Chain A
């Protein structure tokens, strides 16, 4: 990886400014634990593009006479099940958009391609002739030679010991050979990337954990064609390839063995003793697939540890903790197909500031701190490698590392039948099973259930989601939106408004109480973030962003925050529970729970109000739903969440309130043609391309980021258009469903692909969202006009079958029993550039920008210092004491409860404050103040001697009990002594500074 990054830096002319640091020797990794498979087909476009870039690089190097071991022997994918065959059909149909030549083949053809194969249980396969194999070691050395020839410096046997930052930016590294100043740092430490991340100050989190991973090497096998294709049999978790007349066989077992305790320090330690019992699963599959392998002689079984990320995807991009700190790691076992592309993307990001394709799904910003918890990684890692060859069903869910982030209403939702999906560690209900309430003893707590789909056709949850869908459209649905990213942004003066005007393409300077939906564009006009901003007060906004943006959007905001600290950003995601109620009766429902007038004239659509709901207050209510239904999202301080939820459910009963999950709201929004960031929108998509030009305010006083690019695009025309396609001849019961990524054909020619899709329960049709292009003969995109879009005849190819589709450019108005004028005029995706209409005037604020001056040294006298100095000089006139009642019987006598008078030598001298029974002392314990009153009742100075020399009594309801006085915190006897804690006294006499870190306080 490091070699590839260095190589790509030289291609951009940075060779002589690049230094490669290697802890051991470059390319020293063992030849035994690498398969060298190079395959172009990956689960997503970005990964495919990266792999294709790697293949190109291999070919280029070979062409230049650099040996890389590249051999285009093709690869053959086998299917044992119908679902796997469906996957291949989908891949074949997608291959058009991805430009990967491939061919569906019969079992017979499979055997022709690989004569030794047993195809008895094979249903078919996919033949990819452009794939091949390479030699990671040769590839690495070839890249290194190119890099060194172009000026890259290399330090071997040199360990990085820390990565330093200044002002949040990389400024240098310290190594075992001394310190180096630098501007950029790329963590290409692969297997050790997590540890190297920990060397950074502040620490960079690279969530990776090693697993055992096996490579079986046979001795020479006679008559083995060197051009034998790579065989992948994912249903058996295995692959096989030829190398130097021998076979290398490996795989991804369904239950992996994570390495947790052991610390692997060097390359040699990465090869650990083999566990044949664990490997046996794979061995059996090899023998089944290639029976003649039974006669092959074992050369070596290598158990080389390999690190995986918690979602089995690569980790690329700039770290959220430190600018200019890039990570290119977690390439799993396919480093050779990843390295070239990932390195190129990394270098693009360093040199240009962005990559050629959207890489969100691989971006290190997709993680939170929790993902780097080693115990979480250990838990999750058991199932991660298996995902590599698992069936890629829609809405895949991991079963480990669950129940991590839970909203306060999670237990209630679970007991009401919620089935959960995990997003950013958050358990979000996907749908609700019906809970039989008539049963005598409903099982509580209900077991935690994980959502699954496990089909490419009509899913088993179809009817459930349908019921929830109609609740939202015809009665009231309640959904948990708590996982949404919530950020508070505020400033003293107008700074936050200016800041957001600069970041957002929409106008954020709207009246207090308004909500604006806006994109945050990058320089190229693409979406870095797509969010709602509620103006809470003049200089305070609450930002609601997609769940997956929690790390990412903060980085984007921080990157542009004013340096003087005038704008503060606080992530309040974990402080609020978000409950969305949607449906025609939500206004009636909420009106019953609050005294605030919710009529449209007082609380219009797309506005915000802080409400009292039930008996609770401070609930941030937003009149919008993110799905197009009438309704509200309530952001409830966590401690009120259950209360508000209970009230909503109780009062909602008569409106037929029901719980709804994520799938239902997803279906609503797809049908309504609402785009979501991360699914439809990405960093390469502009508002103009997706019908959101009306949300772009070109004429703001402060030109926003990306304005120029968008102006240019407006002038030149867009080259792709976001559309909604309704499949007209698709039978949702029988046909395979569209799940996203399907190619779109216009008049028989490929023109784009779908992004998100859903069944539309109102349209009663499959609904696909996606982008349509106008490709010329060379495949280059030409400007797309509305006429172009509307004049075509569309088809969508689902696993090889094309379905007719009707195209929509704007959000449709769905027929409804409960029309609501206000809401119906709102179209998320629309054409017109009409200004958004607000109620009330737009205020102009004239607030000067205020520079906060540095406060300098911290010698600031605290409030009250003078009074305390005076008191120290003059002496105190009352003393806080602890009194233990010595002759009090806690069984029979009245207790002290505070406020009892204290007598010293028979004279009143003060009273108790708080009291308790001391279970260790086995006595009543009273705290209180003792005074030294003179004859006139005036307090005189109190000394410790005065306090300690008296005989004390406490009067409880007329009876005086003798008391022993303490001036300092007592050391209570304990079975479990802890020296460090015991020396701590809350109340003490000496003015010695408290001592920490192991040294003990000497009284």
Chain B
């Protein structure tokens, strides 16, 4: 009768590990009803980051998933800075000027911020940001061009990552190892900007955003919004081959990787593939040695942070958007993920107690209602947070449901072994308010 104590305990431990980084938030207005987010580390420390923020001086909400590589530094810094850069680019000129004069109110309200940058970096970054605001104010641009704003924010920040290393070196020969480590590590980026029915996704690298849509026949359809920048993307390969002389055709992409090293074909940071040989020799080689310069490094830059920007106008059928790092997409297809989240949505309502709909209800009607609920309660998911639900299924999923012993086993691996079985996983699921979208003027 009471034999299951041990396995129960394991189950609880598994759940504790899975839920460690859980976060969810509900919103009272706008097209975004709520979002669920979670991360599961495989690397130690985790190289994925994420951040979400409400724009304060413009409408809209920004959410990003950042998958770092070559160390966590770049992804960490981006998660702290990028949404502010984009929010600034989104400001109409008059608000921008006003903000530069009176920067008392913050540009964005960061949600669920868990990291604090060290003091000296903060100063450097504040200065860069001020400079960026002034530049923005000088450059005339088309109002309300969201695409341009997203691109501007990303490229400007990528540019600043380099400048923060190179400028002090040029001016007084100093290399700050902290900013250097940020510039040498890299991160792929997937950021969404949602303003009412307007959904924008900016993508750099191999994260993906997938839209979950429910058809009239109550079936789930997955719409993959982004196209990852890796060697499976033929357009990307063509782009890169075209940007470099034919002589490099064999070396620029080797073993499905940029210069035989980097899997994503676009990313932020990664200045080992962007700086000139000269800069690399002066700045990077002293710190990390000759290997700083990749083999066959003839015509830099090889890498760009230029995002692909996608737009989608949300309809009441669009229920949610999943943004996740490739750790998830290695394990789940977009349709699998959408179905999992869809089922979860159905079961999720049962986390809330039943509220009786009307006055003067008969007991038999209540019974009917409860019988229905009971049936549906069977599909009540284990995790309230859909991101956790996805991660649990991504790791432990089998044809017959979640295999908890497999899950427990995979979670108990040490970081060096674990990296072979799974990558860091980061998932953010944004739920849309169908009622709001229904009432949006087309």
Residues of A near B366 (CB, < 8 A) are 276, 283, 298
Encoded as 1 (CB less than 8 Å from any A CB) or 0, chain B from 350 to 371 comes to 1001101000111110110011
Contact between A218 and B367, CB atoms less than 8 A apart: no
Contact between B354 and A298, CB atoms less than 8 A apart: no
Q: How far is the CA of A449 from the CA of B364 in the complex (A)?
A: 42
Encoded as 1 (CB less than 8 Å from any A CB) or 0, chain B from 160 to 176 comes to 00000000000000000
Our pick among B361, B363, B374 for the contact of A277 (Cβ within 8 Å) is B374
Q: How far is the CA of A294 from the CA of B370 in the complex (A)?
A: 13
Contact between B361 and A283, CB atoms less than 8 A apart: no
A308 within 8 A of B: no
Known A295-B362, A297-B360, A297-B362; contact A277-B377, beta-carbon cutoff 8 A: yes
A103 within 8 A of B: no
Residues of A near B370 (CB, < 8 A) are 276-277, 280, 283
State which residues 312-362 of B face A: CB under 8 Å: 350, 353-354, 356, 360-362
B373 within 8 A of A: yes
B215 within 8 A of A: no
**Contact count band on A:** 20 to 34
Our pick among A276, A284, A294, A447 for the contact of B362 (Cβ within 8 Å) is A294
* Closest-CB distance, A276 to chain B (whole angstroms): 4
Q: How far is the CA of A293 from the CA of B356 in the complex (A)?
A: 18
Contact between A297 and B361, CB atoms less than 8 A apart: yes
**Contacts between chains A and B (CB distance < 8 A), count:** 64
Contact between A287 and B353, CB atoms less than 8 A apart: no
Known A276-B370, A283-B370; contact A298-B363, beta-carbon cutoff 8 A: yes
Q: How far is the CA of A449 from the CA of B1 in the complex (A)?
A: 7
B242 within 8 A of A: no
Residues of B near A286 (CB, < 8 A) are 363
Residues of A near B101 (CB, < 8 A) are none
**Contact count band on B:** 10 to 19
* Closest-CB distance, A570 to chain B (whole angstroms): 35
A396 within 8 A of B: no
Residues of B near A277 (CB, < 8 A) are 350, 353-354, 370, 373-374, 377
A735 within 8 A of B: no
Residues of A near B361 (CB, < 8 A) are 297-298
Our pick among A274, A296, A449 for the contact of B363 (Cβ within 8 Å) is A296
Our pick among B3, B356, B364 for the contact of A294 (Cβ within 8 Å) is B364
A273 within 8 A of B: yes
State which residues 249-305 of A face B: CB under 8 Å: 273-277, 280, 283-284, 286-287, 293-298
CB closest chain-A residue, reference B2: A448
Q: How far is the CA of A273 from the CA of B367 in the complex (A)?
A: 18
Residues of B near A284 (CB, < 8 A) are 367
A380 within 8 A of B: no
Our pick among A297, A298, A402 for the contact of B2 (Cβ within 8 Å) is A402
Q: How far is the CA of A276 from the CA of B355 in the complex (A)?
A: 8
A450 within 8 A of B: yes
Contact between B353 and A274, CB atoms less than 8 A apart: yes
Contact between B2 and A218, CB atoms less than 8 A apart: no
Contact between A293 and B353, CB atoms less than 8 A apart: no
Contact between A399 and B353, CB atoms less than 8 A apart: no
Contact between A447 and B3, CB atoms less than 8 A apart: yes
Our pick among A276, A294, A399 for the contact of B1 (Cβ within 8 Å) is A399
Q: How far is the CA of A283 from the CA of B361 in the complex (A)?
A: 14
Residues of A near B3 (CB, < 8 A) are 447
Residues of A near B363 (CB, < 8 A) are 216, 218, 283, 286-287, 293-298
Contact between A275 and B364, CB atoms less than 8 A apart: no
Of residues B1, B373, B377, which shows the largest number of chain A Cβ atoms within 10 Å of its Cβ? B1
Our pick among B350, B356, B360, B364 for the contact of A287 (Cβ within 8 Å) is B364
* Closest-CB distance, A562 to chain B (whole angstroms): 47
Our pick among B2, B353, B360, B364 for the contact of A276 (Cβ within 8 Å) is B353
Residues of B near A276 (CB, < 8 A) are 353-354, 356, 366, 370, 373
State which residues 524-548 of A face B: CB under 8 Å: none
Residues of B near A275 (CB, < 8 A) are 353-354
Q: How far is the CA of A280 from the CA of B366 in the complex (A)?
A: 9
Q: How far is the CA of A275 from the CA of B370 in the complex (A)?
A: 11
* Closest-CB distance, B24 to chain A (whole angstroms): 20
* Closest-CB distance, B103 to chain A (whole angstroms): 38
CB closest chain-A residue, reference B364: A294
Q: How far is the CA of A402 from the CA of B356 in the complex (A)?
A: 39
Q: How far is the CA of A286 from the CA of B363 in the complex (A)?
A: 10
CB closest chain-A residue, reference B354: A276
CB closest chain-A residue, reference B373: A277
CB closest chain-B residue, reference A279: B370
* Closest-CB distance, B70 to chain A (whole angstroms): 26
Residues of A near B1 (CB, < 8 A) are 399, 447, 449-450
Residues of B near A274 (CB, < 8 A) are 353
* Closest-CB distance, B2 to chain A (whole angstroms): 5
Q: How far is the CA of A318 from the CA of B371 in the complex (A)?
A: 48
Encoded as 1 (CB less than 8 Å from any B CB) or 0, chain A from 26 to 68 comes to 0000000000000000000000000000000000000000000
Known A277-B353, A447-B3, A448-B2; contact A287-B367, beta-carbon cutoff 8 A: yes
Q: How far is the CA of A216 from the CA of B356 in the complex (A)?
A: 14
Q: How far is the CA of A564 from the CA of B2 in the complex (A)?
A: 51
Residues of B near A294 (CB, < 8 A) are 362-364, 367
* Closest-CB distance, A932 to chain B (whole angstroms): 51
Contact between B353 and A298, CB atoms less than 8 A apart: no
Q: How far is the CA of A447 from the CA of B373 in the complex (A)?
A: 36
Residues of B near A448 (CB, < 8 A) are 2
CB closest chain-B residue, reference A276: B354
* Closest-CB distance, B306 to chain A (whole angstroms): 42
State which residues 136-186 of A face B: CB under 8 Å: none
Q: How far is the CA of A284 from the CA of B367 in the complex (A)?
A: 7
Q: How far is the CA of A447 from the CA of B2 in the complex (A)?
A: 7
Residues of A near B354 (CB, < 8 A) are 275-277
Q: How far is the CA of A449 from the CA of B374 in the complex (A)?
A: 32
Contact between B2 and A399, CB atoms less than 8 A apart: yes
CB closest chain-B residue, reference A448: B2
Q: How far is the CA of A219 from the CA of B354 in the complex (A)?
A: 21
Residues of B near A298 (CB, < 8 A) are 356, 360-363, 366
Residues of A near B374 (CB, < 8 A) are 277, 280
Q: How far is the CA of A103 from the CA of B224 in the complex (A)?
A: 74
Q: How far is the CA of A293 from the CA of B3 in the complex (A)?
A: 42
Q: How far is the CA of A218 from the CA of B362 in the complex (A)?
A: 9
State which residues 48-79 of B face A: CB under 8 Å: none
State which residues 1-39 of B face A: CB under 8 Å: 1-3
Of residues B350, B362, B371, B373, which shows the largest number of chain A Cβ atoms within 10 Å of its Cβ? B362
CB closest chain-B residue, reference A400: B2
State which residues 365-395 of B face A: CB under 8 Å: 366-367, 370-371, 373-374, 377
Q: How far is the CA of A218 from the CA of B360 in the complex (A)?
A: 10
Of residues B1, B353, B366, which shows the largest number of chain A Cβ atoms within 10 Å of its Cβ? B366
Q: How far is the CA of A218 from the CA of B366 in the complex (A)?
A: 13
Residues of B near A450 (CB, < 8 A) are 1-2
Residues of B near A287 (CB, < 8 A) are 363-364, 367
Q: How far is the CA of A221 from the CA of B371 in the complex (A)?
A: 25
Encoded as 1 (CB less than 8 Å from any B CB) or 0, chain A from 964 to 982 comes to 0000000000000000000
Residues of B near A402 (CB, < 8 A) are 2
* Closest-CB distance, B215 to chain A (whole angstroms): 30
Q: How far is the CA of A298 from the CA of B370 in the complex (A)?
A: 14
Q: How far is the CA of A280 from the CA of B374 in the complex (A)?
A: 9
Q: How far is the CA of A402 from the CA of B5 in the complex (A)?
A: 12
* Closest-CB distance, B353 to chain A (whole angstroms): 5
* Closest-CB distance, B366 to chain A (whole angstroms): 6
Task: Supply 18 A–B pairs (Cβ within 8 Å), ascending by A.
Answer: A275-B354, A276-B354, A276-B356, A276-B366, A276-B370, A280-B370, A283-B363, A283-B367, A287-B367, A294-B364, A294-B367, A297-B362, A297-B363, A298-B356, A298-B363, A402-B2, A449-B1, A450-B1
A275-B353, A277-B370, A280-B371 given. 4 additional CB < 8 A pairs? A277-B373, A283-B363, A298-B360, A447-B2
Closest CB pairs A-B (n = 8): A294-B364, A276-B354, A280-B370, A447-B3, A297-B360, A296-B363, A298-B361, A448-B2
